[in-house]
Amino acid sequence: MKKKDYGLITKLLHLPKKKNPENSHTIPIFQTSTFTYDSVDDGAKKISGEKEGYVYTRIGNPTRKILEEKLALLEHGEDAIVFASGMAAISTVIVTFAKSGDHIICGRTLYGCTDSLFSKQLKNLGMEISFVDLRDASNLEKYIRENTKIVYFETPANPTMEIVDIKKVSKLAKKYNLKIIVDNTFATPYNQLPITLGVDIVVHSLTKYINGHGDVIAGAAIGKKEDIEKVREKLIDFGGILGPEDCYRVIRGLATFVLRMERHNENAMKLAKFLERHEKVKKVYYPGLKSFPQHKLAKKQMKTPYGRGFGGMLSFELYGGFGKGKKFMNYLARNSFIKLAVSLGCTDTLVQHPASMTHAKIPKKDKLAKGITDSLIRVSVGIEDYRDIEEEFRKVLDYV
Ligand SMILES: *Cc1c(COP(=O)(O)O)cnc(C)c1O
């Protein structure tokens, strides 16, 4: 059987092809800071790049390399690079393709720290930032300037689940030679493959679905070889690398990624439908619902050779505003297996309050402009038995 005949998941599981020196079945953790040379000449050649081989773990490590190969394959990119966190990935990628004096266009709703990275840190470094409502792709052209270098967005966006038409925005951005960077953490490559829709670089918080077990902080960027090489040069100097042991953990998490995603998709869809029908629930934001304003677009772009689904994240509002929401979350925190915590994409169902938790740093009026109201509750739907999740929600809804 030729390589191309294997399914994507088989290929993902059985990368790398090369056997490790001791024939261990699982991937070894090369827990070392440095690598020894056979001679001065050997060292000089490896350092200059004339000869292949490892030098120092900040520059490269065999365990990390295997994770990078798997991620490139998973996201349909040529190459991948991993980082100490999602934020390290995003910040390093941005400073690779924009410098002081350059202009960046961002989607208006972003992960809280990403918002703060753009609106504070990168602005302080002299970059110009515009937050743009990209639900209408044609808005992009209105904001493009001479010095625009990057368009950056999330879809679905955290926490309102707004969708951006990846193909349309990419096509427009290409006309102006912009780097198109998309955070695919929420959708995951199981449901959406931005590179196949025209995006240059996909970034991830591996902390979430890709590791999937809530025990690692890690990030990644995937794209064309030449772009990732440029990012690698920056990472080596900035230094936010992922240690070998955490690389191994993510490789292990990745082994069950597709199975977990099937279940996250299924449970979230069922819970979204349950909440939508409930009399105490005012509104549910989930791209898989027919009532979701951008459902058609979500359906169009959220499908891949792995499967199709709308992810494990949903938000909703209760009648009665924040007072009721607070009561709801406090009850769960004390009386349920559903825990109150930020983060997402692990096996367990988590709820949190974006306005006071993940998006607390954003000024209130900006929050409202982005659709983050005080009454919004976000749920990361886990892979528990669905009937138990529904039962917990039914109980707490009865209580409030
Ligand atoms: C968590 C998250 C990040 C940041 O990742 P860390 O691993 O926490 O640094 C970025 N984007 C999204 C959408 C996230 O959910």
Instruction: Find the CATH number of the domain harbouring 119.
Output: 3.40.640.10
Instruction: Please indicate whether residue 208 is annotated as part of the active site.
Output: yes
pLDDT mean values, one per 10 residues, the chain (400 residues): 74 85 90 96 92 95 97 98 98 98 96 94 98 96 97 94 97 97 97 98 98 98 98 97 98 96 98 97 97 97 95 95 88 94 95 87 83 89 98 95
Q: Are residues 250 and 276 in the same domain?
A: no
Q: How far is CA 123 from CA 100, 118, 127, in A?
A: 9, 6, 5
Quote the pLDDT of residue 3.
Answer: 53
Active site residue 230: no
- Which of 111, 117, 206 to probe ligand 1 with, by most ligand atoms within 8 A of CB? 111
Judge if 127 and 276 occupy the same domain: no
What's the Rg (C-alpha) of the chain? 22
Q: Are residues 244 and 372 in the same domain?
A: no
The domain total for the chain is 2
43 & 120 share domain: yes
Is 215 assigned a catalytic role?
Answer: no
Range of the domain at 264: 258-399
Are residues 325 and 193 both part of a single domain?
A: no
Atom 5 of ligand 1: nearest residue by CA position: 86
Answer yes or no: do 246 and 270 share one domain: no
> Residue 119: its pLDDT value, please?
95
185 domain-assigned: yes
Q: Residues 267, 184: one domain?
A: no
Of 38, 3, 33, 37, whose CA–CA distance to 17 is shortest? 3
- Which residue among 254, 272, 289 closes a domain? 254
Atom of ligand 1 nearest to the CA of 218: 7
Q: Are residues 41 and 150 in the same domain?
A: yes
Both 120 and 51 in a single domain?
yes
Give yes or no for a contact between 80 and 220, defined as CB atoms under 8 angstroms apart: yes
Pocket of ligand 1 (CB under 6 A): 85-87, 111, 113-114, 154, 158, 183, 185-186, 205, 207-208, 217, 219
Task: Say what the pLDDT of residue 2 is.
Answer: 57
Q: Indicate if 303 and 240 belong to the same structural domain.
A: no
Residue 10 domain-assigned (yes or no) = no
Closest atom, ligand 1, to C-alpha of 89: 9
- Tell me which of 58, 224, 252, 308 is the catalytic residue: 58
Q: For the whole prediction, is pTM greater than 0.85?
A: yes
Residue 2 resides in a domain? no
What is the Cα–Cα distance from 344 to 360, expressed in whole angstroms?
A: 17
Q: What is the rounded distance in angstroms from the CA atom of residue 29 to the CA atom of residue 215? A: 17
- Please give the structure tokens belonging to residue 324: 């009721």
**Nearest by Cα to 371 from 108, 107, 104:** 108
